[in-house]
Amino acid sequence: MPLIEIEGLTFHAGDKKILDDFSMTIESSEVHALLGTNGTGKSTLAYLVMGCEGYRPTSGEIVFEGKVINDLKIHERAKLGITMSWQEPVRFEGISVRDYLTLNNKDLDPTHYIEMVGLHSELYLHRMVDKSLSGGERKRIELASILALHPKLAILDEPDSGIDMLSTQDIVNVINAFKEHGSSVLLITHREEIVIIADKASQICNGKVICSGNPAKVAEYYKSRKCLICNREVCAYV
Amino acid sequence: MSDLDALMKAFGEAGGDKAILGNNEIAHLVAEGHKLLSMKTVEGLEVDAKETMSGISAKVAVKEGIKIKNPVHLCFGVLHKKGTQKIKMDVRLEKNSSAHFIAHCIFPNAEKVRHIMDAVVEIGEGAEMLYSETHYHGLYGGIEVIPKSVVKIGKNGRYFTDFTLTTGRVGKLGMDYSVEAGENAVTELTARVFGHANDDINIKEKVVLAGKNSRGIIKTRVAIEDDARAEVTGITEGNAAGARGHVDCMEILKDNAVAKAIPIVSVTNPLAKVTHEAAIGSVDKRQMETLMAHGLTPEEAVDVIVKGILK
């Protein structure tokens, strides 16, 4: 049984269809990269899987470990083992990095996790998760906090984008850390060079999976900017 | 039980360290209502405190060049359900001296209590004063807190104050702080208040950057719920060349609470600069979602966010 099955998921924002009969599965301990250009529905999918407010499928199902989770709230999904790292993590005033990493487990030693994302624990654990951190530092701390949760499924929404994007090697290190913990990863990205570190990849266009399988082949397909399914007038690749 | 024991018991229950009274290296002044209960000074610190017809009057001076090693503890409170406490403080830090004052204001049983603090503070050239005031209130909300202070900082002087009222009901708070900073002087005023039920919070803080290259920050953090109301006024004037000021106000509210922020900035010297930011609203949705994705319930997430901003 796959860890998560997304079956025929459709989602509208107002009149606009963002996801259109979208289906994919992620196996246990699998790193699955979802590749697509801006505006193709990648982040929307992430919010739907995480259960963010305002993101409930118009139709279709999200099945996690055999259970339909469409109506569960974020924290209920988190309790099942799903978590997410946002593309631009928010800041928190008055919360130290140590407290942030141990939100759910006060007995946890956060040292290991902060160092796994390339930050020195002595320099960072006492700092605040506020605007004194750079975007890159904040992203690393977010990834460390997700690692510390030992999730069954970690959704990483474009850790490789933004002003303070992480390098490919940074992403590889983080993905390997998730693998060591036995976590599955849904890695959302628009950079084809990242995809090859995944076990499997899918390409999304106009809210649909247009190809799926071997990461290198999907990356190659994405690079060619071909799209065989979408209407050429609206396809992001044409 | 004596009044002193009762006050210190309440202080201990609020998380304070009662051992400070027995430590000869730590100065203190303890008053319940209009009664002076205990006082101790250390070398270089002069305290002239007395009970007057209208309350308690205390003159405090830190002598020139003296740096008081341990914080000076001021324990004020009213243990009865009804009563008034008026305190008049005159604090003077002489040239190049420094001291940290920690005020513990304890009103665990207040049903109809007024606590009025009227302070005049003078920070001499090169002197530095830290003033932390933490309130421990009960659950009745029958208290009115009216702290007023007028502070003048001399050349190269530094003054930092931190007012915290996050334990128990606020009742009615009417805070009025005013600071004038001289040449190269630095000041930072911080206030953190958590209001519940029908608490009424009114905070007014003013910094006048009168001296060349003076610096000032007003930072206010307020959380309110139920039917509580809050109005925060942060005023900064930049009146000298090189002066830099900032007003930073954040208010989080839920239920039927009502919040208002009034940042007032003015500059009379073209080489001065004053900025402000104010944010009022419910708990940030993205912050909530992030914490919930870490497994916290919505209630736990709100608690973490509010405690964070009031920390």
Q: B90 and B58 in contact (C-beta within 8 Å)? A: yes
- By C-alpha distance, the chain A residue nearest B283 is A92
User: For residue B148, is pLDDT > 70?
Assistant: yes
What pLDDT is stored for residue A206 in this prediction?
Answer: 87
Question: Does A87 reside within a domain?
Answer: yes
Question: At B4, which helix (H) or strand (E)?
Answer: helix B3-13
List chain B residues with CB under 8 Å of A103. Answer: 291, 294-296, 304
| Over residues B47-57, mean pLDDT | 93
B304 vs A73, A90, A95: nearest CB: A95
Structural domain span for residue A107 = 4-224
Question: Does B24 reside within a domain?
Answer: yes
User: For residue B170, is pLDDT > 70?
Assistant: yes
What pLDDT is stored for residue A49 in this prediction?
Answer: 98
What pLDDT is stored for residue A235 in this prediction?
Answer: 52
- Whether residue B299 lies within 8 A of chain A, CB to CB, comes out as no
Residue B290 and residue A90: Cβ atoms within 8 Å? yes
Question: Does B238 reside within a domain?
Answer: yes
- By C-alpha distance, the chain B residue nearest A47 is B289
Q: A91 and A138 in contact (C-beta within 8 Å)? A: yes
Name which of A72, A76, A84, A92 to mutate to probe chain B: the one with the most chain B Cβ atoms within 10 A of its Cβ. Answer: A92
| Over residues B215-228, mean pLDDT | 97
List chain A residues with CB under 8 Å of B294. Answer: 78, 83, 103-104, 145, 149
List chain A residues with CB under 8 Å of B284. Answer: 90
Residue A94 and residue B291: Cβ atoms within 8 Å? no
- Cα distance between residue A125 and residue A121, in whole Å: 5
- Cα distance between residue B195 and residue B255, in whole Å: 12
Greatest Cα pair distance, chain A, in angstroms, is 55
Whole-angstrom distance between the N-terminal and C-terminal Cα of chain A?
37
Q: B271 and B239 in contact (C-beta within 8 Å)? A: no
User: For residue A228, is pLDDT > 90?
Assistant: no
Question: Does B111 reside within a domain?
Answer: yes
- If one counts the domains in chain A, the total is 1
Which pLDDT band, with edges at 50, 70 and 90, does B54 fall under? confident
Buried (b) or exposed (e) across B84-108, using 16+ Cβ within 10 A? ebbbbbebbbbbbbbbbbbbbbbbb
- Cα distance between residue B133 and residue A117, in whole Å: 40
List the one residue out of B138, B137, B130, B240 whose CA is nearest residue B187.
B130
Residue B305 and residue A52: Cβ atoms within 8 Å? no
List chain B residues with CB under 8 Å of A105. Answer: none
Question: Does A154 reside within a domain?
Answer: yes
- Cα distance between residue B207 and residue B22, in whole Å: 38
Which pLDDT band, with edges at 50, 70 and 90, does A233 fall under? very low
Question: Does A191 reside within a domain?
Answer: yes
Residue B304 and residue A79: Cβ atoms within 8 Å? no
Question: Which three-class secondary structure state does DSSP give residue B161?
Answer: strand
Structural domain span for residue B110 = 3-283
Question: Does A203 reside within a domain?
Answer: yes
Q: What is the DSSP letter of A126?
A: T
Residue B295 and residue A75: Cβ atoms within 8 Å? yes
Name which of B246, B282, B291 to mutate to probe chain A: the one with the most chain A Cβ atoms within 10 A of its Cβ. Answer: B291
Cβ neighbours of B209 (radius 10 Å): 30
List chain B residues with CB under 8 Å of A79. Answer: 295
- If one counts the domains in chain B, the total is 1
User: For residue A236, is pLDDT > 70?
Assistant: no
Question: Does B291 reside within a domain?
Answer: no
Which pLDDT band, with edges at 50, 70 and 90, does A164 fall under? low
Provide the shortest C-alpha distance from residue B23 to chain A (in Å). 31
| Over residues B28-52, mean pLDDT | 94
Q: What is the ipTM of this complex?
A: 0.93
Side-by-side strand order, sheet with B186-195: B35-40, B28-32, B72-77, B98-107, B128-137, B158-167, B186-195, B215-224, B244-253, B273-281
* Residue A99's CATH number: 3.40.50.300
Residue B170: both structure tokens together: 């606020």
Question: Does B289 reside within a domain?
Answer: no
Residue B294 and residue A94: Cβ atoms within 8 Å? no
Question: Does A181 reside within a domain?
Answer: yes
User: For residue A232, is pLDDT > 70?
Assistant: no
Residue B296 and residue A90: Cβ atoms within 8 Å? no
Question: Does B305 reside within a domain?
Answer: no
Q: B197 and B168 in contact (C-beta within 8 Å)? A: no
Question: Does B23 reside within a domain?
Answer: yes
Range with lowest mean pLDDT among A134-138, B16-20, B241-245, B286-290:
B16-20
Can you state the percent helix, strand and coil of chain B, rounding each to 5?
10, 55, 30
Question: Does B58 reside within a domain?
Answer: yes
- Cα distance between residue A94 and residue B34, in whole Å: 37
Per-residue pLDDT tens digits for A170-201: 888 888 899 888 999 999 998 888 888 899 99
What pLDDT is stored for residue A39 in this prediction?
Answer: 84
- By C-alpha distance, the chain A residue nearest B298 is A75
Cβ neighbours of A182 (radius 10 Å): 11
| Over residues B237-266, mean pLDDT | 96
| Over residues B248-269, mean pLDDT | 95
Per the DSSP assignment, residues forming a β-bridge with B163 are B133, B191
- Cα distance between residue B82 and residue B115, in whole Å: 11
What pLDDT is stored for residue A229 in this prediction?
Answer: 55
Residue A30: both structure tokens together: 């699998």
Question: Which three-class secondary structure state does DSSP give residue B63?
Answer: coil
What residues of chain A have any CB closer than 8 angstroms to a CB in chain B? 50, 52-53, 73-75, 78-79, 83-84, 86, 89-90, 92-95, 103-104, 145, 149
User: For residue A34, is pLDDT > 60?
Assistant: yes
| Over residues B230-259, mean pLDDT | 96
Name which of A77, A86, A91, A93 to mutate to probe chain B: the one with the most chain B Cβ atoms within 10 A of its Cβ. Answer: A93
Provide the shortest C-alpha distance from residue A104 to chain B (in Å). 7
Those of residues 56-95 in B touching chain A at CB distance below 8 A are none
Which pLDDT band, with edges at 50, 70 and 90, does B11 fall under? confident
List chain A residues with CB under 8 Å of B302. Answer: none
Question: Does A235 reside within a domain?
Answer: no
Share of chain B above pLDDT 70, in %: 100
- Cα distance between residue B142 and residue B113, in whole Å: 6
Mean predicted lDDT score pLDDT of chain B: 95
